[in-house]
A and B are shown apart, each in its own frame.
Chain A
Amino acid sequence: MALSREQVAMRVAQELQDGYYVNLGIGIPTLVANYVPKGMEVMLQSENGLLGMGPYPTEDEIDADMINAGKETVTAIKGAAIFNSAESFAMIRGGHVDLTVLGAFEVDQNGNIASWMIPGKLVKGMGGAMDLVAGAQNIVVTMTHADKYGNSKLLTDCTLPLTGVGCVKKIVTDLAVLEVRNGAFHLLERAPGISVEEIQQKTAGKLVIEGNVPEMTFN
């Protein structure tokens, strides 16, 4: 069965490592914070200027001056740092953030990503996404493998205006975990009960399948 949003987040959380600085985008990526493995310490970076983002505040803790990049009220953990937007993007663009997780409309086999603009629809803006994809050492994209009409979102070439070029390394969809390298999607894992054939059928770009593809495991 295809993974739920929570399961996608749980699988992405397996990419975390102790001591990582991580930026989580809006949507499924935000959920990853709920599944940080026990005993592991990661620092969440919020691009409005917070390193060490904590959970939502209690009613008593709410402070209009403490928000995250999604403009939600938030708290800071002990050991957090707060700084201005140029400093925040210096961390991002300087390659100091270990892992960025973000959503996308499309990804292609050369690691290009389109996530901010659908021509003909109102364009709201890219926010920090272009900086994040250009700067991160390691980018994981979360998205559904196909759209609601069954059209693949893993393409030979992105059709929508790009957010970044050649930057996506790994993709976690509701059906599979894939690595992007050498101009192809490499199938690493499949969702429990999902066949390689179904993944192949829903992947429009070049898909490399080597040996037995294991099912994802969840602790």
Chain B
Amino acid sequence: MAGFNKVVHSYEDAMAGLQDGMTVIAGGFGLCGIPEGLIAQIKKMKTKDLTVVSNNCGVDGFGLGILLEDKQIKKMIASYVGENALFEKQLLNGELEVELTPQGTLAEKMRAGGAGIPAFFTATGYGTPVAEGKETREIKGRNYVLEESITGDFAIVRAWKADRYGNLMFRHTSMNFNPMAATAGKITVAEVEEIVEPGELEPSQIHTPGIYVQRVIKGNFEKRIERRMVRQG
């Protein structure tokens, strides 16, 4: 049954095989639902020249932001990168390349990548700088932009519960990009809050079927909050 025991017990094993120049797709929205320990492991490995695909690039000192500290990211593909002074500095210095991608297009690029669809037409971005240099086509009277899908050498995701088959469930809005990212990695690593026995996850409630997931590791999460808003109870 070892073939279906995807649980690894060290971050070294979780990220084994990551090399300079690879593409890493990371789940998360802001700091919500990010694989904190796997990102820390990439920092520890000092892997360079990475292309990182994620909605955002963390903040200074946390999340994907820590990979900027030793200039490990060569190119960032994201929809919004406004939360990070180091990012700004490296971008202006020309040490970092950024490909800004509309959020829905980014999600669909990952989804399509995981589903074996090489490209798709979307109305998003038509007539804007995003469409520059891309094929466009009029279909049924509306104009669309051809967007290519994305796959990664690695995908790193954060999930709530997993079993040793790699089946995943996500918690609340920490789901965000994680299910799409999980489908689009050659090696998908899930860092999870809890590993349960096979059968404990109701099959019809599983968000990501284990076929997409190669490695599972139990993590400990700080779950930092980016904008803490409270109402008087």
Q: Is the CB of A126 within 8 A of B229?
A: no
- Does B134 belong to the interface (CB within 8 Å)? no
C-alpha gap A56/B172 in the complex (Å) = 15
Interface segment out of the listed B4-12, B39-47, B98-106: B98-106
C-alpha gap A106/B51 in the complex (Å) = 33
Given A63-B172, A65-B174, CB of A89 within 8 Å of CB of B31:
no
Interface size on A, residues (CB 8 A): 54
Q: Which residue in A59, A61, A64, A93 is a CB contact (below 8 Å) of B122?
A: A93
Given A57-B230, A86-B108, CB of A134 within 8 Å of CB of B126:
yes
A-B contacts counted at CB < 8 A amount to 175
Q: Which residues of A sit under 8 angstroms from B15, Cβ to Cβ?
A: none
Chain B residues numbered 76-94 whose CB sits less than 8 Å from any CB in chain A: 78-82, 88, 91-92
Most chain B CB atoms below 10 A, which of A71, A88, A163: A71
C-alpha gap A67/B56 in the complex (Å) = 15
Q: Which residue in B91, B124, B128, B177 is a CB contact (below 8 Å) of A84?
A: B177
Q: Which residue in B30, B105, B128, B227 is a CB contact (below 8 Å) of A164?
A: B128
Q: Is the CB of B173 within 8 A of A65?
A: yes
Q: Is the CB of B227 within 8 A of A85?
A: no
- Does A49 belong to the interface (CB within 8 Å)? yes
Q: Shortest CB–CB separation between residue A116 and chain B, in angstroms?
A: 9
Q: Which residues of B sit under 8 angstroms from A83, Cβ to Cβ?
A: 175
- Does A104 belong to the interface (CB within 8 Å)? no
Q: Shortest CB–CB separation between residue B4 and chain A, in angstroms?
A: 25
Chain A residues numbered 103-122 whose CB sits less than 8 Å from any CB in chain B: 112, 117, 122
Q: Is the CB of B223 within 8 A of A58?
A: no
Q: Is the CB of A58 within 8 A of B231?
A: yes
Which B residue sits closest to A91, measured CB to CB? Answer: B104
Q: Which residues of B sit under 8 angstroms from A66, Cβ to Cβ?
A: 172-173
Q: Is the CB of B80 within 8 A of A127?
A: yes
Q: Is the CB of A126 within 8 A of B122?
A: no
Q: Which residue in B172, B176, B231 is a CB contact (below 8 Å) of A85?
A: B176
Q: Is the CB of B176 within 8 A of A84?
A: yes
Q: Is the CB of B127 within 8 A of A123?
A: no
Chain B residues numbered 176-233 whose CB sits less than 8 Å from any CB in chain A: 176-180, 207, 223-233
Which B residue sits closest to A128, measured CB to CB? Answer: B103
- Does B38 belong to the interface (CB within 8 Å)? no
C-alpha gap A122/B232 in the complex (Å) = 36
Given A48-B176, A49-B175, A85-B29, CB of A93 within 8 Å of CB of B229:
no
Known: A48-B32, A58-B233, A125-B82. 19 other contacts (CB 8 A): A59-B233, A65-B223, A66-B172, A71-B29, A73-B225, A73-B230, A85-B180, A86-B108, A86-B110, A89-B108, A117-B129, A128-B102, A129-B102, A130-B102, A131-B102, A131-B103, A134-B123, A162-B127, A164-B128
Closest 6 CB pairs of A and B: A89-B104, A58-B233, A124-B82, A131-B104, A165-B127, A125-B80
10 contacts between A and B (CB under 8 A): A57-B231, A64-B31, A65-B174, A66-B172, A67-B226, A71-B32, A88-B107, A122-B91, A122-B92, A126-B102
